[in-house]
Amino acid sequence: MKTELAMLVGAVALAFIQVVVAAFGAMRQVGLPILAGNRENIPDILGWAGRAARAHRNLLENLVLFAALVLAAQAAGISNAITVLGAQLFLWARVAYAVLYIAGIPWARTAAWAASVLGMLMILSQLL
């Protein structure tokens, strides 16, 4: 498996871990019966659990773009040092983003997000 595809699989695994963390945090705040119900009038999930849910949603938004870039590069037969580094940068920046967001560290979180976007731009540059 090419490195870029391995990083895509890693990003999907990260998304799975993040949804489990977010669900655990929500369950601790509002309880399993509320989460298992129809979720009407569910209270806001606050603190680290709310940040975990927002970090997960942000990853999903970016994962669509990353997956499209990696799959387009693979379909075009493009794999080089820049696409590999871009994919690695995306994944590890997203890991840092998740940790920093859940911990409540705003500016470092933003820097990690920017690094992940740079990783995507690196792959895009090889497709243009």
pTM, two decimals, is: 0.94
Q: What is the pLDDT of residue 80?
A: 98
Q: Tell me the fold of 3-127.
A: Four Helix Bundle (Hemerythrin (Met), subunit A) (1.20.120)
Give tens-digit pLDDT for 39-79: 888 889 999 999 999 999 999 999 999 999 999 999 999 99
Q: What is the pLDDT of residue 33?
A: 82
Give tens-digit pLDDT for 97-110: 999 999 999 999 99
CA pair distance 62, 40, nearest whole angstrom: 28
70, with CB counted inside 10 A (0-12, 13-18, 19+), is buried
- E strands, 1-128, in order: none
Q: What is the pLDDT of residue 4?
A: 98
Helices marked H in the chain? 3-30, 32-36, 47-75, 81-103, 106-127
Residue 10: pLDDT band (50, 70, 90) is: very high
CA pair distance 53, 76, nearest whole angstrom: 35
Q: Is the pLDDT of residue 34 over 90?
A: no
